[in-house]
Amino acid sequence: MLDSETKAVETPEDHAEELRLWLRLLTCTTLIEGEVRGRLRQRFDVTLPRFDLMAQLDKAPDGMTLSDVSKRMMVSNGNVTGLVERLVESGHLDRRTSETDRRVQVIRLTKLGRAEFRRMAAEHETWIADLFVDLTPKDVRELMRLLAKTKASAQKSAARRRP
Amino acid sequence: MLDSETKAVETPEDHAEELRLWLRLLTCTTLIEGEVRGRLRQRFDVTLPRFDLMAQLDKAPDGMTLSDVSKRMMVSNGNVTGLVERLVESGHLDRRTSETDRRVQVIRLTKLGRAEFRRMAAEHETWIADLFVDLTPKDVRELMRLLAKTKASAQKSAARRRP
DNA sequence: GCCGATTTCTTTAGGCTTCAAATAATTGGC
DNA sequence: GCCAATTATTTGAAGCCTAAAGAAATCGGC
């Protein structure tokens, strides 16, 4: 068997397909994210990061620490500090220092915060449904599967670099 | 045929699957984007928006107007103004007012800008390949197809709201 | 109990991003 | 040629975001 027949080891590898995939993934996300951001602003005068933070807290009735939030939202600590500050200011969040560990701040939705979030979330869900409306249930399942695989692959790759 | 048997028209529609799909899409993108941003910073001390802008210009040897760039990158005009300002300042971009329409600014990569971009792009491509390495060629094709469908669906939905 | 390492959070500096309003140039109808 | 509408860009205010450095509290050996 000749070298030239063995999987083209010598040629500089062509990753154009993966690159195109990444750009398409990014385009889809940017498109949908922009649409959601605009609607949140128009309908509720709220920003996407605020909405996302409230969404995290809505799933945690007992509250979360800032670190939890920062990990879940995949943003920096400092970012969360400012975000929380503004949401406490506007009365949507309650923030208190943990009894057992005075480094830790526990934040919760206030009654107002929860009520407003639920109202927004209900409408938000219909927007998402509309944005994905042309996908069949099978498309959705298949996308879920492939994105799960993508996420796993990317996490492994990230871990290889930063073990 | 009873009403309760006809596609559950009365029940508030359940869009939980689409919501989960959106969150997974967002997670994948955030994960990869964060990884790319970090590597660009570490290896080349450049930001992702700067890289993206240079990527657009690399594909347009005759230059682009700021509006073109803003549409392609799906960001606001004001955003591009500042980005370009900094890249002109650092010698990567050349900017001139159009001869035929004095409202228009045409920007191009400088020699330095092009050289640096090519160097970064080559490495960038290997990062992307590594991030997607666990996907088979078939996975990639299938994802491309489903994301194209998603993009079309989202664009239609956006157009319905803002015709 | 003490002290170095770690964890949690804040601060700082700089850059990115949006929206809305303002500026400047062009176009089209008359 | 004139003027209203449109188009291209800039500006300003506010908020988002990161990385890195710093402050405060806790933890783990010893």
Preferred mutation among B25, B36, B161 to probe A, highest tally of A CBs within 10 A: B25
Rounded distance between C-alpha atoms, residue B71 and residue B103, angstroms = 17
Reported confidence tier of residue B14, pLDDT bands at 50, 70, 90: confident
- The predicted structure's pLDDT at residue A15: 86
Quote the domain boundaries for residue A97: 18-156
Do the Cβ atoms of B147 and A17 come within 8 Å?
A: no
Chain A 56-75, CB < 7 Å to strand D: 74-75
- The predicted structure's pLDDT at residue B8: 45
Average confidence (pLDDT) over A41-50: 96
Partner residue facing A143 (CB), from B21, B152, B154: B21
Pairing of strands B105-109, B64-65: antiparallel
Per the model's pLDDT, the better-predicted residue between B102 and A8 turns out to be B102
Distance, CA of A48 to chain centre: 10
Structural tokens at position B146 = 């489903």
Per the model's pLDDT, the better-predicted residue between A75 and B15 turns out to be A75
Average confidence (pLDDT) over A73-94: 96
Preferred mutation among B23, B39, B75, B130 to probe A, highest tally of A CBs within 10 A: B130
3-state DSSP of B77-122: HHHHHHHHHHHHHCCCEEEEECCCCCCCEEEEECHHHHHHHHHHHH
- Give the angle subtended at the CA of B7 by the CAs of B2 and B9, to the nearest 5°: 85
- The predicted structure's pLDDT at residue B13: 72
pLDDT tens sequence across B104-133: 999 999 999 999 999 999 999 999 999 999
Structural tokens at position A12 = 């500089």
Q: What nucleotide is nearest B76 when CA is compared to C1'?
A: C18
Is B133 inside a domain boundary? no
Do the Cβ atoms of B161 and A20 come within 8 Å?
A: no
Average confidence (pLDDT) over B53-74: 96
pLDDT greater than 90 at residue A157: yes
Average confidence (pLDDT) over B91-116: 95
Is B17 inside a domain boundary? no
Reported confidence tier of residue A80, pLDDT bands at 50, 70, 90: very high
Per the model's pLDDT, the better-predicted residue between B73 and A15 turns out to be B73
- The predicted structure's pLDDT at residue B161: 82
CB B134 within 8 A of CB A149: yes
* Residues above pLDDT 90, as percent of chain A: 87
Torsion of CA B34, B40, B46, B51, to 10 degrees: -80
Average confidence (pLDDT) over B13-17: 84
Residue B84's nearest CA partner among B116, B124, B57 is B57
Is B12 inside a domain boundary? no
- Spatial neighbors of B39 by CB under 8 A, at least 6 apart, are A161, B124, B127
- The predicted structure's pLDDT at residue A56: 97
Torsion of CA B129, B130, B131, B135, to 10 degrees: 70
Do the Cβ atoms of B146 and A155 come within 8 Å?
A: no
Is B142 inside a domain boundary? no
Is B97 inside a domain boundary? yes
- Spatial neighbors of B70 by CB under 8 A, at least 6 apart, are B76, B77, B79, B80
R_g of chain A computed on alpha carbons: 21
- The predicted structure's pLDDT at residue B145: 98
- The predicted structure's pLDDT at residue A81: 97
- Residue B77 approaches strand C within 7 Å at CB: yes
- Provide the domain count of chain A: 1
pLDDT tens sequence across A109-148: 999 999 999 999 999 999 999 999 999 999 999 999 999 9
Q: Is residue B112 less than 8 Å (CB to CB) from chain A?
A: no
Is B148 inside a domain boundary? no
Is B79 inside a domain boundary? yes
Residue nearest to nucleotide D8 (CA to C1'): B103
- The predicted structure's pLDDT at residue B4: 53
Task: Kindly list the distances between the CA atom of residue A86 and the CA atoms of A44, A77, A92, B29, B158, in Å, as whole numbers in the listed order.
Answer: 16, 15, 9, 26, 30
Please say whether the dihedral angle defined by the alpha carbons of residues A9, B145, A139 and A40, taken in this order, is positive or negative.
positive
- The predicted structure's pLDDT at residue A2: 52
- Residue B96 approaches strand D within 7 Å at CB: no
Q: Is residue B157 less than 8 Å (CB to CB) from chain A?
A: yes
pLDDT greater than 70 at residue B7: no
- The predicted structure's pLDDT at residue A160: 87
CATH number of the domain within which B73 lies: 1.10.10.10
Residue A54's nearest CA partner among A64, A43, A39 is A64
Reported confidence tier of residue B25, pLDDT bands at 50, 70, 90: very high
Residue A40's SS3 state is helix
Chain A 59-98, CB < 7 Å to strand C: 65-68, 77-78, 80-82, 84
CB B34 within 8 A of CB B41: no
Average pLDDT, chain A: 92
Is A101 inside a domain boundary? yes
CB B134 within 8 A of CB A160: no
pLDDT greater than 70 at residue A1: no
Q: Is residue B139 less than 8 Å (CB to CB) from chain A?
A: yes
Rounded distance between C-alpha atoms, residue A121 and residue A70, angstroms = 21
Rounded distance between C-alpha atoms, residue B106 and residue B93, angstroms = 10
- Residue A49 approaches strand D within 7 Å at CB: yes
- The predicted structure's pLDDT at residue B104: 96
Q: Is residue B43 less than 8 Å (CB to CB) from chain A?
A: no
Preferred mutation among A71, A146, A155, A161 to probe B, highest tally of B CBs within 10 A: A146
How many Å from the N-terminal Cα to the C-terminal Cα in chain A?
Answer: 39
- Give the angle subtended at the CA of A63 by the CAs of A57 and A66, to the nearest 5°: 80
pLDDT greater than 90 at residue A12: no
